[in-house]
Amino acid sequence: MISRRSMLRTGAIAAVATVGAPSILHAQTKTLKITTWGGKWGDIMKATVLPAFEKEFKCTVQADQAFPFMPKLQASPKNDPLYDVFHTNSNEQWSALTEGLVMAKITAKEVPNIADVYPYAVSDKIVGVTIFTSAIGLGYRTDKGIPVPKSWKDLADPKLAGQRGGYLIPVNSLGQCHLMMLGKVYGKGLQDLDAAYKALEQLKPIKLVDFTGQMEKMLLSGEVSEGVIHDSGVLRYEGANRQPVEFCSPTEGVMALEQVLNVTPGSKVKELAFSYIDYMLRPDVQKLLAEAVWYSPANKKVKLSEKYDARLLTTPEKVATLIQPDWKWYNARKDDIDARVTRILKG
Amino acid sequence: MSAAANRKPFDAGRAAYLALNIVLLAFLLAPIAIVIVFALNPTPFISFPPVGVSLRWFEKFFASSDFMNALWLSLWVAACVLVLSVVIGGACALALARGNLPGRTFLTAFFMSPLMLPAILTGLALFQSYLLAGIGRPIWGLIMAHTLIAVPYVLRTTLAVLHNFDHRIEEAAAALGASPARVFFEVTLPLIQPGVFAGGVFAFIVSFDQFPVSLFLVVPKSETLPVVLYNYMKFDLDGAIAAASMVSILLALSVVLAMERLIGLKAYVKL
């Protein structure tokens, strides 16, 4: 027979269990906070990549796609950062390192798949680890009667006056890469800023944008005939969206636009963060994302389908054409460079 | 009398006045016309002149769960902000307009101060405060932040109505035996209603379009429409942006028309 006391006790235990269950469950399920891109990349991450990771590692991933990532990380406490894994381009990782917001190096000890990446992915120009790269070169219209570009110098062709496209250098890393490339092509090297400034003068008049997406649209719509862009920004427009636009890898080399992952030192779930980076470097995940957005995978074991393999940087020879800028050097001079290029391109 | 004699002489001043109005209207409405053209143009990029008419970008906008979630969240937040800012801003305005509140000038400046600070700084400061307080970035935190920005609009429009408010009407009602609550709901509120409602419309629109403050306070999967549009634009600059803008414009217009039906815009014009 059930006494009134035992019934009350059972009821109390059931009530506590009901109220407490979600928080107990929540305490057991770890949450990984990451930054990630939007667009097609974001769609695939949300639909396939992240749910599979959550299932395998029995965790929840909170993926922030809302820019700006860096100020948000800066404003959050270092011992409880807003993000566990910080996904940005290489230049921002260097800024974050200077402020102690990310780790300096990640090795194969923490992330085993690092053993299979191309050397550029963990070179001394990289903070964290590169998971993908794009090649920054020249995009051009094939229907405007302009010569097919072969060199970076071809962008200065007088016939392209007002028809060439570039970036607002202070806010766009492709623009910053282009400036350094001008130093290499017209001067003594990537750090020859005087030669770069002089060459930049010769590119006027030039249409400037702040987002890479805007450059893609300017090329697609024919608003510019030639412009600085990364290969993915041209190659991803296939099928019904195809326009007479092609990508050229100039003979002097292409600049690397790396997608870099890193872990924040104050992360409370570091092991999970390393597992996530390792997961992103797995050949199957790399292949899925590379073929969706036309990024070159950093893992050399990845075998892409033929059409992607033909265009992306998937062999040591092709990878050797990549030029990695020294962002530490650039960031240290950024304010001066910004002021100078703004004066040059004003109006 | 002949027709020629009836014809009014050419008035250069009136013609200039009309021309100026037409220029101003064109300046205000041209961006909306451009947005409509882009929203209906079927090309996968924003271009001019248009090559046809298509609803594909509206279909993409309404079929996207990201856009729809963001739209509903923005509407919900804006509705909450409307109610909160009307209550807070209206109450503040009444207290300030009574004239016997100590530090009245300082308090007015204090309540108006969110408009003087760049909104991006307000957003960043609130973001940092929330994190330091250990509360994260809850949705009510976003609503409070929007309310902070919206209250000055309600305060300003309500104070404008109260400027010429005849307090003797309230005193007469009280003298005739009405309780303070009855005086407020049956005398004061109907008289200040145009200012409060107009402020409410501003509050709703300010919250619905709020970007700089939201930028730091939204969390993954709970992002407002302006933030989603900004991030979308960085990767996909297609007609869906224009379609979303059209929807936003129509929603703002609906709110204004609804307010016109409820209180009549003419009541506000009298301010």
Quote the ipTM score. 0.76
Read off φ and ψ for residue A132, nearest 5 degrees.
-145, 160
Task: Determine the residue of chain A that is closest to B220 in CA distance.
Answer: A64
- The answer to whether the beta carbons of residues A166 and A228 sit under 8 Å apart is yes
- The answer to whether the beta carbons of residues B75 and B67 sit under 8 Å apart is no
Task: Please state, in angstroms and rounded to a whole number, the distance separating the CA atoms of residues A14 and A4.
Answer: 15
**Percent of chain A scored above 70 by pLDDT?**
91
| Count of H-run helices and E-run strands, chain B | 14, 0
Asked whether the CA dihedral B45, B50, B56, B60 is positive or negative, the reply is positive
Task: Please state, in angstroms and rounded to a whole number, the distance separating the CA atoms of residues B189 and B73.
Answer: 30
Q: What is the pLDDT of residue A19?
A: 46
pLDDT in tens, chain B (271 residues): 555 556 777 888 899 999 999 999 999 989 888 888 889 988 877 677 788 889 999 999 999 999 999 999 999 999 999 999 999 999 999 999 876 788 888 988 998 998 888 999 999 999 999 988 988 899 999 999 999 999 999 999 999 888 878 888 988 999 999 999 999 999 998 888 888 988 998 999 999 999 999 999 999 889 999 999 988 888 877 888 899 999 988 888 888 788 777 766 665 555 4
- The identity of residue B101, as a single letter, is L
Token couple for B110: 């204090």
Residue A76 touches chain B, beta carbons under 8 Å: yes
Homologous superfamily (CATH) of A29-133+257-312 is Periplasmic binding protein-like II (3.40.190.10)
Angstroms from B47 CA to nearest CA on chain A: 6
- Is domain B60-269 given the CATH code 3.40.50.300 in the classification? no
CA dihedral A95→A278→A292→A102, nearest 10 degrees, is -10
Task: Please state, in angstroms and rounded to a whole number, the distance separating the CA atoms of residues A204 and A162.
Answer: 8
Task: Please state, in angstroms and rounded to a whole number, the distance separating the CA atoms of residues A138 and A157.
Answer: 13
Place of tokens 């400061």: B125
Q: What is the pLDDT of residue B271?
A: 44
- The identity of residue A312, as a single letter, is L
Place of tokens 């350094």: A180
Whether the predicted pLDDT of A304 surpasses 80:
yes
Residue A214 touches chain B, beta carbons under 8 Å: yes
- Please, where are the H alpha helices in chain A? 4-28, 39-44, 50-57, 69-75, 90-98, 173-186, 193-202, 212-221, 232-235, 270-280, 283-293, 306-311, 316-319, 327-332, 334-345
Q: What residues of chain A lie within 8 A of the CB of B217, using their CB?
A: none
Tell me the average pLDDT of chain A: 91
A279: closest CA among A295, A261, A294? A261
What tens digit of pLDDT does each residue of A305-339 get? Answer: 999 999 999 999 999 999 999 999 999 999 999 99
Place of tokens 């040059």: A344
Question: How long, in residues, is chain A?
Answer: 347
Q: What is the pLDDT of residue B101?
A: 80
How many Cβ atoms from other residues are within 10 Å of residue A337's Cβ? 20
Q: What is the pLDDT of residue A79?
A: 92
Q: A240 CB contacts (<8 Å, ≥6 apart)? A: B44
Token couple for A41: 């990349």
Strand A322-323 with A254-263, pairing: parallel
Read off φ and ψ for residue B92, nearest 5 degrees.
-60, -45
Q: What is the pLDDT of residue B103?
A: 86
Angstroms from B229 CA to nearest CA on chain A: 10
Q: Residues of B near A (CB-CB distance < 8 A)?
A: 43-47, 124, 127-128, 131-132, 215-216, 218-221, 223, 227, 230-238
The answer to whether the CB atoms of B127 and A66 lie below 8 A apart is no
In sequence order, what DSSP letters do the residues of B77-94 get, joined into one string?
Answer: HHHHHHHHHHHHHHHHHH
> Matching CATH topology for A29-133+257-312 and A134-255+328-345?
yes
Q: Measured between alpha carbons, how far apart are the two ends of chain B, in Å?
A: 44
What tens digit of pLDDT does each residue of A240-285 get? Answer: 667 899 999 999 999 999 999 999 999 999 999 999 999 999 999 9
Q: Give CA A190 to chain center in angstroms.
A: 21
What tens digit of pLDDT does each residue of A55-110 get? Answer: 999 999 999 998 889 999 999 999 999 999 999 999 999 999 999 999 999 999 99
**Percent of chain A scored above 90 by pLDDT?**
82
Task: Please state, in angstroms and rounded to a whole number, the distance separating the CA atoms of residues A34 and A32.
Answer: 6
Angstroms from B28 CA to nearest CA on chain A: 25
How many Cβ atoms from other residues are within 10 Å of residue B29's Cβ? 10
Task: Please state, in angstroms and rounded to a whole number, the distance separating the CA atoms of residues A178 and A250.
Answer: 12
Q: Give CA A84 to chain center in angstroms.
A: 17
Residue A82 touches chain B, beta carbons under 8 Å: yes
- The answer to whether the beta carbons of residues B92 and B155 sit under 8 Å apart is yes
Asked whether the CA dihedral B106, B107, B110, B112 is positive or negative, the reply is negative
Strand A254-263 with A85-89, pairing: antiparallel
Read off φ and ψ for residue A208, nearest 5 degrees.
-110, 140
How many Cβ atoms from other residues are within 10 Å of residue B172's Cβ? 13
Q: What is the pLDDT of residue B117?
A: 87
- Specify which residues A135 forms β-bridges with: A256
User: How much is the pTM?
Assistant: 0.83
Q: What is the pLDDT of residue B141?
A: 95
Could you give the 3-state DSSP secondary structure of residue A93? helix
In CATH, the architecture of A134-255+328-345 is 3-Layer(aba) Sandwich (3.40)
Angstroms from A54 CA to nearest CA on chain B: 16
Task: Please state, in angstroms and rounded to a whole number, the distance separating the CA atoms of residues B258 and B271.
Answer: 19
Domain ranges of chain B: 60-269
Token couple for A189: 């090297």
Q: Which of B124, B215, B231 sits opposite A65 (nearest CB)?
A: B231
Q: What is the pLDDT of residue A11?
A: 56
Task: Please state, in angstroms and rounded to a whole number, the distance separating the CA atoms of residues B212 and B193.
Answer: 30
- Specify which residues A226 forms β-bridges with: A140, A164
More confident residue, B136 or A201: A201
* Distances from the Cα of B240 to the Cα of A53, A68, B244, angstroms: 30, 22, 6
Q: What is the pLDDT of residue A8?
A: 55
- The answer to whether the beta carbons of residues A81 and A264 sit under 8 Å apart is yes
Domain ranges of chain A: 29-133+257-312, 134-255+328-345
Asked whether the CA dihedral B243, B246, B251, B254 is positive or negative, the reply is negative
Task: Determine the residue of chain A that is closest to B136 in CA distance.
Answer: A82
Q: What is the pLDDT of residue B212?
A: 93
Task: Please state, in angstroms and rounded to a whole number, the distance separating the CA atoms of residues A11 and A253.
Answer: 73
